[in-house]
Structure formats: C-alpha cells, structure tokens
Amino acid sequence: MTSTDDGFGFGALAIPAYGPSLLFGLGEGAMLPVLPLSARDVGASVAIAATMVMLINVGSLIFNVPSSIITDRYGERHAIIGASIVGVLASLLFLVGHEVWIYATGAVLYGISASVFMLARQSYLTEAVPATHRARALSTLGGVMRIGVFVGPFIGAAAMSLWHLAGAYVVSTAALALAGVLGATLKELPHEAESRRKAAGELADVTVRSTLHDYRRVFLTVGMGVLLVSAIRATRQAVIPLWAEHLSLSPTTASLIYGISGGIDMLVFYPAGKVMDVYGRRWVTVPSMLVMAVSMMAIPLTHGAVTLCLVTCVLGFGNGIGAGMVMTLGADFSPERGRAPFLGIWRELSDAGSTIGPGVLAGVTAVLSLGAGVIVSGATGLGAAAVMWRSVPTRGKAPERSDDLTGRSGTPPTGGDVTPPLEEEPLRPVKR
C-alpha cells in the first residue's frame, strides 16, 4: 500500500501518520482488559470496576468539542503530541494508583487523550490525502487502530508475566510515549500556519454554535446515522461475552470467540476503503449495517460455541468492512473553514451512540431478556442502514474549496443545508 494508480502514495504517511495510531491502539488494548481488575484489587465493587471503562467514553464524550478548538488553534501535530502526553499521564496514574478515585481520574484523562488524538488524526488525513483516496486513508486509520487494540492484550499479557497487572500499564505508557514521538515527526500542512494567523481575524466567526446552525441538516440526517452506527458497534462488544456466558461457555472460550471475530474485523478494512473511493460511500455503509444487524439478531439463535463463533465472525466482517466510514463521512461533509469544530460535533454524535447503545441493551435486558435486548440492538443496525441509504450520496466528495459551498462570510447560501452533491464521475483530488 505504497502507491495508487494515479501516483498518490501512502508511503510518506506510513510512519508519521499511521504509526502513532497503531501505537495508541496498542496501548489502549493493553490497558482495557486490566483496568477493571485493578479497580477490584483496591476494593471496588464489580459495578464500580465496570464503570472504569465507561469513564473513558465519558472523558471522550465531554471533550470532543474542546478537542476541536485545541486542534483548530494549535494544529494537528501539536494536538497529537499533547494528547500523547495526557495519555501517558493517565497510564502513569493507573500504574501507581492505590485508590479507586485515582483509577477513575486516569480513565477520564485517557478518554480526553483519545478524543484529541483521534480528532487530530482525522483532521490531518482529511487535509493531507486527495479526496480520491480519502476513504482508503481513513479506513486504514481505523484499521491500524484495530490492529493495535487486537495486539495490545497479547503484549500486555507478556508484560504481566513479569510485573503482574502493572505490566499492562508499562506497555500502555511506553506505547503512548512513542506515539507522541512519532507524532512530532508529522509535517505541518501548508494551511495550518495561515489558519492560525487568521484565528483572531476573519475565521473568528466560525464557532461551534455557528457550525451547529449552518450544518444542522447534515447532523440531523447523516449524523443520526452515525449515532446509530456507533450504537450497534459498541453494543457488539458487550453482546458477544454476555451471550457466551448465557450459553455457559467458559471465559477462555468466550475470549477466543471474541478474538477470532476481532481478527476477521481487522482484515478487511483496506478493500472496503477502496470500494468507497471507487464506487461511493453507500456501497459500504449500507451493506456494513445490514450484515451487522442480521448477524446480531441471529445471535439469540445460536446454541453453542461453534454456532456463536460462526455468527460473530459474520458480525466482525460487517464491522470490518465499515472501518473508517464514520471518519470518511465526517471528512466528506466537513467544510474547509471550520473543519475542526465540525469534526468535534461529528465525534460527539459518534460517542453519544457508543454510550446509548449499551444502555439500550441493558435496559431491554432488564425489562425483558438478554435475547430481546440483542434483537433490539440488531434492529438499531437496520435503522442505521435505512438512514445511510437515504442520506449518503452514491458518490460524495468534499468540496475543493470552502467557497464551493459558502459565501465569503462563511455562511452557506441555503442556510446550512449543505450536503455533498450526487455525481456520476469519479472523485477528483483536492487541489492544494
């Protein structure tokens, strides 16, 4: 994956752009399985220990908009470095913590770090990569994060054989520190210096509030689809182990099934990105959600390890072919002026879905049954597919200049109802 047919090459981005993402995912993967156990070791109840992971999502959710402000003001490279520093601090708190509140503080900080890191990566690649290759670039970004999260637990387990639970946090700390070092090698994009010089002048009118108003139709259509996509994705992570326990499978078997599904997930991200670039976003967004919905609703029909593994592999495939689609759609619809605030709101919708999805599963399970909760969660995927079919153009492209959609004042001429146009010709590179 070093070059493409029209001469654009990903090789120059491999280490400075994708290396930090791989390392950040590795650090997260090493830390996530261990954090609840550490909380239990210091006396937390099972319920409190379970909320440790939720607090990471809370940190990300509350900081997405501030992340956009930070990225817009200081640039993607500095934002990545700062996010890595905060992530290292969070990992060190996990490493030395002996109280529940220390782990809780570290979890929120880790979520804040992830919020800034991911928004800066998405913003950078949106600018650095031609529109003709955007889906492949952002699918690869999502894919390498997944590879890191997949590999992280194994490296963490090896470190824990030497330093017990602290070993996982040593891996996380080292990975995030190295991610910051690699992030510092990013070349500043030509627009960044000019944008920051104008930050107090003509760009001052681009705010989160004005972005919400100007692009309200996008957020209420495709944005709602993104919320539903994130809901079923987050629910999937809880459904597999819960249904395995329902079938009285051992924790080892459940982990193996989850790992196999994750392996399928991370193998198909690049072909899916190419399909989006060549044929259009809808060719991936809709099938991804349909496959996830049907396979999720089939889980209650499984009765053993083999059938559950087969269904979850299909579920992993559906999730994998959608790698990067949320970021790609955000990049497609985002304006050149005010891109960071737009992407901050976009991530807010995504994180809201990740929080709501498991909540719906828990609520329906409490009232009815786990099987009913899984089916309702699967229906979320059908809703996402319907919204994506309705709202996502067959071929969408980001405007080559913000003037394509906005006037000189930055206000869309239609009052904010801006969507990428339908077109039948291949995507053209963004002119820099």
Question: Could you report how far apart the first and last alpha carbons of the chain are, in Å?
Answer: 23
Collapsing DSSP states into helix, strand and coil, what is residue 130? coil
Q: Are 25 and 145 in contact (CB under 8 A)?
A: yes
The upper half-sphere exposure of residue 68, i.e. CA atoms within 13 Å in the direction of its Cβ, equals: 22
Backbone angles phi, psi at 192, to 5 degrees: -65, -50
Report the Cα 293 to chain-centroid distance in Å: 19
pLDDT means per 10 residues in the chain (432 residues)? Answer: 50 77 91 86 82 85 88 87 95 92 94 91 82 83 86 87 89 95 80 49 65 89 92 86 84 78 82 83 91 94 92 92 87 83 88 86 87 92 93 58 37 37 38 36
The pLDDT assigned to 172 comes to: 94
The DSSP code sequence of 221-278 is: THHHHHHHHHHHHHHHHHHHHHHHHHTT--HHHHHHHHHHHHHHHTTSHHHHHHHHHH
Give the CA radius of gyration of the chain.
Answer: 21
Q: In whole angstroms, what is the distance from residue 384 CA to residue 381 CA? A: 5
Does this model's pTM top 0.85? My answer is: no
Q: In whole angstroms, what is the distance from residue 307 CA to residue 304 CA? A: 6
309-340 burial string, b = 16+ CB within 10 Å, else e? bebbbbbbbbbbbbbbbbbbbbbbbbbbbbbb
Ramachandran area for residue 418 (φ above 0: left; ψ -120 to 50: alpha; else beta): beta
Q: In whole angstroms, what is the distance from residue 14 CA to residue 342 CA? A: 26
Q: Are 243 and 374 in contact (CB under 8 A)?
A: yes
Q: In whole angstroms, what is the distance from residue 41 CA to residue 171 CA? A: 20
Q: In whole angstroms, what is the distance from residue 194 CA to residue 191 CA? A: 5
Q: In whole angstroms, what is the distance from residue 123 CA to residue 103 CA? A: 30
The pLDDT assigned to 43 comes to: 87
User: Which amino acid type is present at position 299?
Assistant: I
Q: How many secondary structure helices (H) and strands (E) does the chain include?
A: 19, 0
Which residues have C-beta within 8 Å of that of residue 405, sequence separation ≥ 6? Answer: 335, 399, 412, 413, 418
Collapsing DSSP states into helix, strand and coil, what is residue 113? helix
The pLDDT assigned to 12 comes to: 65
Q: Are 400 and 333 in contact (CB under 8 A)?
A: no
User: Which amino acid type is present at position 25?
Assistant: G
Q: Hey, what are 288's tokens?
A: 């991804």
Distances in Å between the Cα of 148 and the Cα atoms of 151, 159, 293, 327 are: 5, 16, 26, 18
Q: Are 100 and 43 in contact (CB under 8 A)?
A: yes
DSSP code, position 164: T
Q: Are 423 and 395 in contact (CB under 8 A)?
A: yes
The pLDDT assigned to 238 comes to: 80
Q: In whole angstroms, what is the distance from residue 204 CA to residue 167 CA? A: 46
The pLDDT assigned to 9 comes to: 58
